[in-house]
Amino acid sequence: MPEFTYTAKSHSGDSQSGTIAAASRVEAMRLLRQQSLFPLKVKDAAEGPGWVNVSLPTRVKKEQIADFCSQLADLLGGGVPILESLRILEEATENPTLRQTAQNLHSAISEGDTLDAAMSRETRVFSDLTVSMVRAGQEGAFLEEALQRTALFLTKQDEMRAKIVGALTYPIILGVVGTLITCLMVMFMVPKFQPFFDRLEQNGTGLPAITVVLLGISHVFLNYGVFLLIAIMGLVGGIHQLFQNTTAKRLLDKWKLRLPVLGGIFHDSAVSRTCRVLGTLLRNGVPILRSLQISSESTGNKLLEEAILQSADNVTAGDSLSTPLMASKLIPKQVMAQIRVAEESNTLDDVLIKVADRTDEKIERRLEVMVRMIEPMMLILIGSMVMFVIVGVLLPVFEMNSSIG
Protein backbone atom coordinates (compact mmCIF):
# COMPACT_ATOMS: atom_id res chain seq x y z
CA MET A 1 0.00 0.00 0.00
CA PRO A 2 1.44 3.43 -0.90
CA GLU A 3 2.64 5.80 1.78
CA PHE A 4 1.94 9.52 2.03
CA THR A 5 3.90 12.18 3.85
CA TYR A 6 1.75 14.71 5.69
CA THR A 7 1.80 17.89 7.69
CA ALA A 8 -1.21 18.37 9.96
CA LYS A 9 -2.41 20.28 13.00
CA SER A 10 -4.03 18.87 16.11
CA HIS A 11 -6.97 20.40 17.98
CA SER A 12 -4.49 22.08 20.32
CA GLY A 13 -2.83 23.80 17.36
CA ASP A 14 0.40 21.78 17.39
CA SER A 15 1.92 20.94 14.01
CA GLN A 16 2.72 17.30 13.27
CA SER A 17 4.51 15.63 10.36
CA GLY A 18 4.97 12.01 9.39
CA THR A 19 3.92 9.28 6.98
CA ILE A 20 0.69 7.30 6.69
CA ALA A 21 -0.24 4.27 4.59
CA ALA A 22 -3.42 4.63 2.54
CA ALA A 23 -4.90 3.53 -0.76
CA SER A 24 -5.14 7.12 -2.05
CA ARG A 25 -4.48 10.72 -1.04
CA VAL A 26 -8.17 11.20 -0.18
CA GLU A 27 -8.10 8.09 1.99
CA ALA A 28 -4.95 9.37 3.74
CA MET A 29 -6.71 12.66 4.55
CA ARG A 30 -9.73 10.76 5.87
CA LEU A 31 -7.52 8.63 8.15
CA LEU A 32 -5.82 11.76 9.48
CA ARG A 33 -9.16 13.35 10.32
CA GLN A 34 -10.14 10.17 12.16
CA GLN A 35 -7.06 10.73 14.31
CA SER A 36 -8.34 14.25 15.15
CA LEU A 37 -5.73 15.84 12.89
CA PHE A 38 -6.40 18.61 10.38
CA PRO A 39 -4.31 17.87 7.24
CA LEU A 40 -2.41 20.84 5.79
CA LYS A 41 -0.31 19.04 3.19
CA VAL A 42 -0.54 15.44 1.98
CA LYS A 43 1.55 14.05 -0.88
CA ASP A 44 2.85 10.74 -2.17
CA ALA A 45 6.06 9.77 -0.38
CA ALA A 46 7.41 8.36 -3.65
CA GLU A 47 7.55 11.87 -5.09
CA GLY A 48 10.57 12.65 -2.93
CA PRO A 49 11.41 15.99 -1.26
CA GLY A 50 9.79 19.11 -2.60
CA TRP A 51 13.00 20.67 -3.90
CA VAL A 52 13.58 17.64 -6.17
CA ASN A 53 10.17 18.02 -7.82
CA VAL A 54 10.30 21.75 -8.45
CA SER A 55 9.02 22.49 -11.95
CA LEU A 56 7.70 25.52 -13.78
CA PRO A 57 3.89 25.67 -14.00
CA THR A 58 2.52 24.75 -17.42
CA ARG A 59 0.24 27.32 -19.01
CA VAL A 60 -3.34 26.21 -19.57
CA LYS A 61 -4.90 27.50 -22.79
CA LYS A 62 -8.52 28.59 -22.99
CA GLU A 63 -9.07 25.88 -25.59
CA GLN A 64 -7.98 23.24 -23.06
CA ILE A 65 -10.23 24.71 -20.35
CA ALA A 66 -13.13 24.72 -22.82
CA ASP A 67 -12.48 21.04 -23.64
CA PHE A 68 -12.32 20.25 -19.91
CA CYS A 69 -15.70 21.92 -19.26
CA SER A 70 -17.30 20.32 -22.32
CA GLN A 71 -16.05 16.83 -21.44
CA LEU A 72 -17.17 17.24 -17.83
CA ALA A 73 -20.63 18.27 -19.08
CA ASP A 74 -20.78 15.21 -21.37
CA LEU A 75 -19.80 12.85 -18.54
CA LEU A 76 -22.31 14.38 -16.11
CA GLY A 77 -25.01 14.34 -18.79
CA GLY A 78 -24.28 10.65 -19.34
CA GLY A 79 -25.03 9.89 -15.69
CA VAL A 80 -21.42 9.55 -14.49
CA PRO A 81 -21.02 10.81 -10.87
CA ILE A 82 -19.00 13.98 -10.55
CA LEU A 83 -16.13 12.39 -8.58
CA GLU A 84 -15.78 9.62 -11.15
CA SER A 85 -16.00 12.20 -13.96
CA LEU A 86 -13.15 14.21 -12.46
CA ARG A 87 -11.08 11.06 -12.01
CA ILE A 88 -11.60 10.17 -15.68
CA LEU A 89 -10.63 13.68 -16.78
CA GLU A 90 -7.56 13.60 -14.55
CA GLU A 91 -6.36 10.43 -16.26
CA ALA A 92 -7.23 11.67 -19.77
CA THR A 93 -5.74 15.17 -19.46
CA GLU A 94 -2.23 15.68 -20.85
CA ASN A 95 -1.57 19.17 -19.48
CA PRO A 96 0.15 18.74 -16.07
CA THR A 97 -1.42 21.88 -14.57
CA LEU A 98 -4.92 20.91 -15.70
CA ARG A 99 -4.36 17.35 -14.48
CA GLN A 100 -3.37 18.68 -11.05
CA THR A 101 -6.42 20.96 -11.13
CA ALA A 102 -8.71 17.98 -11.77
CA GLN A 103 -7.08 16.19 -8.84
CA ASN A 104 -7.56 19.22 -6.60
CA LEU A 105 -11.22 19.48 -7.62
CA HIS A 106 -11.71 15.77 -6.88
CA SER A 107 -10.12 16.11 -3.44
CA ALA A 108 -12.11 19.24 -2.53
CA ILE A 109 -15.47 17.80 -3.63
CA SER A 110 -14.79 14.49 -1.88
CA GLU A 111 -14.31 16.53 1.31
CA GLY A 112 -17.71 18.19 0.95
CA ASP A 113 -17.05 21.29 -1.18
CA THR A 114 -19.26 22.23 -4.11
CA LEU A 115 -17.84 22.34 -7.64
CA ASP A 116 -17.96 26.15 -7.87
CA ALA A 117 -16.22 26.55 -4.49
CA ALA A 118 -13.48 24.14 -5.56
CA MET A 119 -13.08 25.93 -8.91
CA SER A 120 -12.85 29.33 -7.22
CA ARG A 121 -9.59 28.24 -5.55
CA GLU A 122 -8.01 27.34 -8.92
CA THR A 123 -7.51 30.96 -9.99
CA ARG A 124 -4.75 30.05 -12.48
CA VAL A 125 -7.21 27.99 -14.52
CA PHE A 126 -10.81 29.14 -13.98
CA SER A 127 -11.92 32.74 -14.44
CA ASP A 128 -14.57 34.54 -12.39
CA LEU A 129 -17.02 34.12 -15.27
CA THR A 130 -16.50 30.34 -15.36
CA VAL A 131 -17.00 30.06 -11.60
CA SER A 132 -20.12 32.26 -11.77
CA MET A 133 -21.64 30.16 -14.56
CA VAL A 134 -20.95 26.92 -12.71
CA ARG A 135 -22.40 28.38 -9.49
CA ALA A 136 -25.53 29.40 -11.38
CA GLY A 137 -25.76 25.96 -12.99
CA GLN A 138 -25.63 24.26 -9.62
CA GLU A 139 -28.21 26.56 -8.07
CA GLY A 140 -30.56 26.31 -11.06
CA ALA A 141 -30.07 22.56 -11.64
CA PHE A 142 -28.63 23.07 -15.14
CA LEU A 143 -24.95 22.37 -14.46
CA GLU A 144 -24.37 20.46 -17.71
CA GLU A 145 -25.80 23.30 -19.79
CA ALA A 146 -23.81 25.87 -17.81
CA LEU A 147 -20.58 23.96 -18.48
CA GLN A 148 -21.41 23.67 -22.19
CA ARG A 149 -22.18 27.38 -22.43
CA THR A 150 -18.95 28.17 -20.60
CA ALA A 151 -17.02 25.95 -23.03
CA LEU A 152 -18.66 27.76 -25.98
CA PHE A 153 -17.83 31.15 -24.50
CA LEU A 154 -14.20 30.17 -23.87
CA THR A 155 -13.92 28.78 -27.41
CA LYS A 156 -15.16 32.08 -28.85
CA GLN A 157 -12.66 33.94 -26.68
CA ASP A 158 -9.85 31.67 -27.86
CA GLU A 159 -10.81 32.15 -31.51
CA MET A 160 -10.88 35.91 -31.05
CA ARG A 161 -7.53 35.84 -29.30
CA ALA A 162 -6.02 33.70 -32.09
CA LYS A 163 -7.20 36.22 -34.68
CA ILE A 164 -5.74 39.13 -32.73
CA VAL A 165 -2.42 37.37 -32.08
CA GLY A 166 -2.15 36.38 -35.75
CA ALA A 167 -2.81 39.93 -36.88
CA LEU A 168 -0.47 41.46 -34.29
CA THR A 169 2.46 39.10 -34.87
CA TYR A 170 4.04 41.20 -37.60
CA PRO A 171 3.57 44.59 -35.85
CA ILE A 172 4.94 43.17 -32.61
CA ILE A 173 8.02 41.71 -34.32
CA LEU A 174 8.48 44.99 -36.16
CA GLY A 175 8.18 46.98 -32.94
CA VAL A 176 10.57 44.76 -30.95
CA VAL A 177 13.22 44.65 -33.69
CA GLY A 178 12.89 48.37 -34.44
CA THR A 179 13.16 49.33 -30.76
CA LEU A 180 16.15 47.01 -30.27
CA ILE A 181 17.96 48.48 -33.29
CA THR A 182 17.25 52.03 -32.13
CA CYS A 183 18.56 51.29 -28.61
CA LEU A 184 21.71 49.69 -30.04
CA MET A 185 22.28 52.74 -32.26
CA VAL A 186 21.89 55.07 -29.29
CA MET A 187 24.20 52.99 -27.07
CA PHE A 188 26.96 52.07 -29.56
CA MET A 189 26.78 54.28 -32.65
CA VAL A 190 26.13 57.69 -31.07
CA PRO A 191 29.14 57.51 -28.65
CA LYS A 192 31.43 57.03 -31.68
CA PHE A 193 30.61 60.60 -32.72
CA GLN A 194 31.31 62.04 -29.26
CA PRO A 195 34.87 63.27 -30.12
CA PHE A 196 33.55 65.03 -33.21
CA PHE A 197 30.80 66.70 -31.22
CA ASP A 198 33.31 67.76 -28.55
CA ARG A 199 35.51 69.47 -31.19
CA LEU A 200 32.49 71.33 -32.53
CA GLU A 201 31.68 72.65 -29.06
CA GLN A 202 35.35 73.64 -28.48
CA ASN A 203 35.35 75.56 -31.75
CA GLY A 204 32.27 77.44 -30.62
CA THR A 205 30.03 75.99 -33.29
CA GLY A 206 27.66 74.44 -30.75
CA LEU A 207 25.28 71.55 -31.18
CA PRO A 208 21.64 71.48 -32.30
CA ALA A 209 19.05 70.83 -29.58
CA ILE A 210 18.11 67.44 -31.05
CA THR A 211 21.76 66.32 -30.85
CA VAL A 212 22.05 67.46 -27.23
CA VAL A 213 18.92 65.45 -26.35
CA LEU A 214 20.27 62.41 -28.22
CA LEU A 215 23.60 62.59 -26.37
CA GLY A 216 21.77 62.87 -23.05
CA ILE A 217 19.71 59.76 -23.80
CA SER A 218 22.84 57.87 -24.85
CA HIS A 219 24.60 58.92 -21.64
CA VAL A 220 21.67 57.73 -19.49
CA PHE A 221 21.51 54.37 -21.31
CA LEU A 222 25.25 53.73 -20.98
CA ASN A 223 25.68 54.81 -17.37
CA TYR A 224 22.33 54.15 -15.74
CA GLY A 225 20.71 51.56 -18.02
CA VAL A 226 20.70 48.78 -15.41
CA PHE A 227 19.30 51.06 -12.70
CA LEU A 228 16.69 52.37 -15.14
CA LEU A 229 15.59 48.81 -15.94
CA ILE A 230 15.38 47.92 -12.23
CA ALA A 231 13.38 51.10 -11.56
CA ILE A 232 10.92 50.28 -14.36
CA MET A 233 10.48 46.71 -13.07
CA GLY A 234 9.93 48.02 -9.54
CA LEU A 235 7.41 50.59 -10.79
CA VAL A 236 5.47 47.90 -12.69
CA GLY A 237 5.47 45.65 -9.62
CA GLY A 238 4.35 48.50 -7.37
CA ILE A 239 1.52 49.46 -9.70
CA HIS A 240 0.41 45.82 -9.86
CA GLN A 241 0.29 45.61 -6.07
CA LEU A 242 -1.50 48.94 -5.83
CA PHE A 243 -4.32 47.83 -8.11
CA GLN A 244 -5.05 44.82 -5.90
CA ASN A 245 -6.86 47.31 -3.66
CA THR A 246 -10.61 47.66 -4.30
CA THR A 247 -10.54 51.46 -4.52
CA ALA A 248 -7.58 51.38 -6.90
CA LYS A 249 -9.34 48.75 -9.03
CA ARG A 250 -12.35 51.01 -9.30
CA LEU A 251 -10.18 53.93 -10.44
CA LEU A 252 -8.42 51.67 -12.94
CA ASP A 253 -11.72 50.42 -14.37
CA LYS A 254 -12.96 54.00 -14.64
CA TRP A 255 -9.76 55.01 -16.44
CA LYS A 256 -9.94 51.99 -18.78
CA LEU A 257 -13.39 53.02 -19.97
CA ARG A 258 -12.05 56.46 -20.98
CA LEU A 259 -9.26 55.20 -23.24
CA PRO A 260 -9.66 56.44 -26.84
CA VAL A 261 -10.03 53.13 -28.72
CA LEU A 262 -9.68 50.38 -26.14
CA GLY A 263 -12.16 52.03 -23.77
CA GLY A 264 -15.09 51.15 -26.01
CA ILE A 265 -13.91 47.55 -26.31
CA PHE A 266 -13.52 47.20 -22.52
CA HIS A 267 -16.97 48.72 -22.02
CA ASP A 268 -18.73 46.52 -24.59
CA SER A 269 -16.96 43.42 -23.27
CA ALA A 270 -18.22 44.06 -19.73
CA VAL A 271 -21.77 44.71 -20.99
CA SER A 272 -21.71 41.55 -23.12
CA ARG A 273 -20.50 39.34 -20.27
CA THR A 274 -23.14 40.75 -17.93
CA CYS A 275 -26.01 40.34 -20.40
CA ARG A 276 -24.97 36.81 -21.35
CA VAL A 277 -24.64 35.54 -17.79
CA LEU A 278 -27.80 37.30 -16.58
CA GLY A 279 -29.82 36.10 -19.57
CA THR A 280 -28.60 32.52 -19.15
CA LEU A 281 -29.49 32.51 -15.47
CA LEU A 282 -32.97 33.92 -16.01
CA ARG A 283 -33.63 31.51 -18.88
CA ASN A 284 -32.88 28.57 -16.59
CA GLY A 285 -35.17 29.70 -13.80
CA VAL A 286 -32.71 31.27 -11.36
CA PRO A 287 -34.47 34.02 -9.33
CA ILE A 288 -33.68 37.51 -10.56
CA LEU A 289 -32.05 38.71 -7.32
CA ARG A 290 -29.66 35.77 -7.27
CA SER A 291 -29.07 36.16 -11.02
CA LEU A 292 -28.11 39.81 -10.55
CA GLN A 293 -25.71 38.93 -7.74
CA ILE A 294 -23.97 36.22 -9.75
CA SER A 295 -23.81 38.25 -12.97
CA SER A 296 -22.31 41.22 -11.08
CA GLU A 297 -19.34 39.01 -10.16
CA SER A 298 -18.61 38.28 -13.83
CA THR A 299 -18.60 41.82 -15.25
CA GLY A 300 -14.85 42.38 -14.95
CA ASN A 301 -15.57 46.05 -14.16
CA LYS A 302 -16.17 47.48 -10.69
CA LEU A 303 -18.37 50.34 -11.92
CA LEU A 304 -20.76 48.04 -13.74
CA GLU A 305 -20.69 45.59 -10.83
CA GLU A 306 -21.84 48.36 -8.46
CA ALA A 307 -24.60 49.40 -10.88
CA ILE A 308 -25.92 45.82 -11.10
CA LEU A 309 -25.89 45.41 -7.32
CA GLN A 310 -27.79 48.67 -7.01
CA SER A 311 -30.29 47.28 -9.51
CA ALA A 312 -30.73 44.28 -7.23
CA ASP A 313 -31.55 46.66 -4.37
CA ASN A 314 -34.10 48.39 -6.58
CA VAL A 315 -35.75 45.11 -7.51
CA THR A 316 -35.93 44.17 -3.82
CA ALA A 317 -37.70 47.47 -3.15
CA GLY A 318 -40.19 46.74 -5.93
CA ASP A 319 -38.72 49.11 -8.53
CA SER A 320 -37.69 48.21 -12.09
CA LEU A 321 -34.32 46.76 -13.09
CA SER A 322 -33.63 49.42 -15.68
CA THR A 323 -33.76 52.52 -13.45
CA PRO A 324 -30.33 52.27 -11.72
CA LEU A 325 -28.73 50.84 -14.86
CA MET A 326 -29.87 53.90 -16.79
CA ALA A 327 -28.61 56.19 -14.02
CA SER A 328 -25.14 54.59 -14.17
CA LYS A 329 -24.82 55.58 -17.88
CA LEU A 330 -22.75 52.42 -18.42
CA ILE A 331 -25.35 50.62 -20.53
CA PRO A 332 -25.93 52.00 -24.07
CA LYS A 333 -29.28 53.76 -24.60
CA GLN A 334 -30.48 51.31 -27.25
CA VAL A 335 -29.74 48.40 -24.91
CA MET A 336 -31.59 50.13 -22.08
CA ALA A 337 -34.60 50.62 -24.35
CA GLN A 338 -34.62 46.91 -25.15
CA ILE A 339 -34.33 46.00 -21.45
CA ARG A 340 -37.27 48.26 -20.52
CA VAL A 341 -39.47 46.71 -23.21
CA ALA A 342 -38.31 43.19 -22.28
CA GLU A 343 -39.21 43.79 -18.62
CA GLU A 344 -42.75 44.71 -19.59
CA SER A 345 -43.13 41.80 -22.03
CA ASN A 346 -41.43 39.25 -19.74
CA THR A 347 -38.82 38.34 -22.38
CA LEU A 348 -35.77 39.69 -20.55
CA ASP A 349 -33.75 36.46 -20.82
CA ASP A 350 -34.03 36.21 -24.62
CA VAL A 351 -33.35 39.91 -25.13
CA LEU A 352 -30.24 39.89 -22.93
CA ILE A 353 -28.69 36.95 -24.79
CA LYS A 354 -29.43 38.60 -28.17
CA VAL A 355 -27.84 41.82 -26.89
CA ALA A 356 -24.74 39.85 -25.84
CA ASP A 357 -24.47 38.21 -29.29
CA ARG A 358 -24.75 41.54 -31.11
CA THR A 359 -22.29 43.19 -28.74
CA ASP A 360 -19.75 40.40 -29.33
CA GLU A 361 -20.05 40.97 -33.09
CA LYS A 362 -19.50 44.68 -32.52
CA ILE A 363 -16.40 43.97 -30.41
CA GLU A 364 -14.99 41.71 -33.12
CA ARG A 365 -15.40 44.42 -35.77
CA ARG A 366 -13.75 47.00 -33.52
CA LEU A 367 -10.82 44.70 -32.82
CA GLU A 368 -10.29 44.07 -36.52
CA VAL A 369 -10.21 47.81 -37.21
CA MET A 370 -7.85 48.41 -34.30
CA VAL A 371 -5.46 45.69 -35.46
CA ARG A 372 -5.38 47.16 -38.97
CA MET A 373 -4.49 50.55 -37.49
CA ILE A 374 -1.64 49.23 -35.36
CA GLU A 375 0.61 48.15 -38.23
CA PRO A 376 0.95 51.55 -39.97
CA MET A 377 1.17 53.29 -36.58
CA MET A 378 4.02 50.95 -35.61
CA LEU A 379 5.84 51.70 -38.88
CA ILE A 380 5.47 55.43 -38.26
CA LEU A 381 6.71 55.07 -34.66
CA ILE A 382 9.78 52.99 -35.56
CA GLY A 383 10.57 55.26 -38.50
CA SER A 384 10.35 58.30 -36.22
CA MET A 385 12.74 56.78 -33.67
CA VAL A 386 15.32 55.85 -36.30
CA MET A 387 14.94 59.24 -37.98
CA PHE A 388 15.49 60.96 -34.60
CA VAL A 389 18.84 59.17 -34.18
CA ILE A 390 19.98 59.78 -37.75
CA VAL A 391 19.01 63.46 -37.73
CA GLY A 392 20.62 63.95 -34.31
CA VAL A 393 23.90 62.51 -35.59
CA LEU A 394 24.01 64.06 -39.07
CA LEU A 395 22.54 67.52 -38.43
CA PRO A 396 25.78 68.91 -36.87
CA VAL A 397 27.66 67.66 -39.94
CA PHE A 398 25.27 69.45 -42.29
CA GLU A 399 25.48 72.66 -40.25
CA MET A 400 29.28 72.51 -40.24
CA ASN A 401 29.39 72.05 -44.03
CA SER A 402 27.01 74.96 -44.56
CA SER A 403 29.09 77.20 -42.30
CA ILE A 404 32.30 76.24 -44.15
CA GLY A 405 30.62 76.84 -47.51
Taking alpha carbons only, the member of 19, 41, 28, 9 closest to residue 110 is 28
The H or E element that residue 43 is part of is strand 37-44
Is residue 112 a part of any domain in this protein?
yes
Q: What is the DSSP string of 301-351?
A: -HHHHHHHHHHHHHHHTT--SHHHHHHHT-S-HHHHHHHHHHHHHT-HHHH
| pLDDT value of residue 175 | 86
| pLDDT value of residue 47 | 56
Mark whether 202 and 132 lie in a shared domain.
no
Secondary structure of residue 166 in the 3-state scheme:
helix
Taking alpha carbons only, the member of 310, 251, 305 closest to residue 273 is 305
Mark whether 271 and 402 lie in a shared domain.
yes
Q: Residue 41 — left, alpha, or beta (φ > 0 → left; ψ -120 to 50 → alpha)?
A: beta
Mark whether 241 and 372 lie in a shared domain.
yes
| pLDDT value of residue 58 | 63
Secondary structure of residue 21 in the 3-state scheme:
strand
Secondary structure of residue 221 in the 3-state scheme:
helix
Taking alpha carbons only, the member of 275, 308, 273 closest to residue 289 is 308
pLDDT profile of the chain (405 residues), mean per 10? 74 74 72 72 60 53 86 88 88 85 88 86 82 79 84 78 75 86 87 85 79 89 86 86 73 81 82 82 76 77 81 74 73 82 81 86 82 83 89 83 63
Domain that holds residue 42: 3-47
* Of the residues 136, 158, 180, the one at which a domain ends: 158
DSSP E strands, 115-224: none
Question: Which residues make Cβ contacts (< 8 Å) with residue 203, sequence separation at least 6?
Answer: none
Is residue 274 a part of any domain in this protein?
yes
The strand pair at 15-21 and 3-10 is best described as antiparallel
Is residue 250 a part of any domain in this protein?
yes
Mark whether 113 and 187 lie in a shared domain.
no
Distance from C-alpha of 40 to C-alpha of 217, rounded to nearest angstrom: 54
**Contact criterion met (CB below 8 Å) for 286 and 140:** yes
| CATH code of residue 96 | 1.20.81.30
Is residue 54 a part of any domain in this protein?
no
Q: How many other C-beta atoms can be found within 10 angstroms of the C-beta atom of residue 162?
A: 12
Is residue 296 a part of any domain in this protein?
yes
Mark whether 309 and 215 lie in a shared domain.
yes
* Of the residues 130, 158, 186, the one at which a domain ends: 158
Is residue 53 a part of any domain in this protein?
no
Is residue 215 a part of any domain in this protein?
yes
Mark whether 154 and 195 lie in a shared domain.
no
Mark whether 176 and 127 lie in a shared domain.
no
Mark whether 153 and 213 lie in a shared domain.
no
**Contact criterion met (CB below 8 Å) for 79 and 69:** no
* Of the residues 134, 158, 182, the one at which a domain ends: 158
Compute the Cα dihedral for 34, 37, 41, 45 and give only its sign. Answer: negative
**Contact criterion met (CB below 8 Å) for 337 and 261:** no
Mark whether 215 and 143 lie in a shared domain.
no
Q: How far apart are the first and last CA of the chain?
A: 95
Mark whether 333 and 360 lie in a shared domain.
yes
Rg for the chain, CA atoms, rounded: 29
Distance from C-alpha of 240 to C-alpha of 262, rounded to nearest angstrom: 20
pTM to 2 decimals? 0.62
Determine the distance from the C-alpha atom of residue 292 to the mean position of all C-alpha atoms in its chain, rounded to a whole number: 23
CA angle 379, 383, 388 (to 5 degrees): 155
Is residue 404 a part of any domain in this protein?
yes
**Contact criterion met (CB below 8 Å) for 32 and 96:** no
Taking alpha carbons only, the member of 299, 308, 295 closest to residue 266 is 299
| pLDDT value of residue 5 | 84
| pLDDT value of residue 351 | 87
Mark whether 190 and 308 lie in a shared domain.
yes
Number of domains, the chain = 3
Mark whether 244 and 311 lie in a shared domain.
yes
| pLDDT value of residue 52 | 44
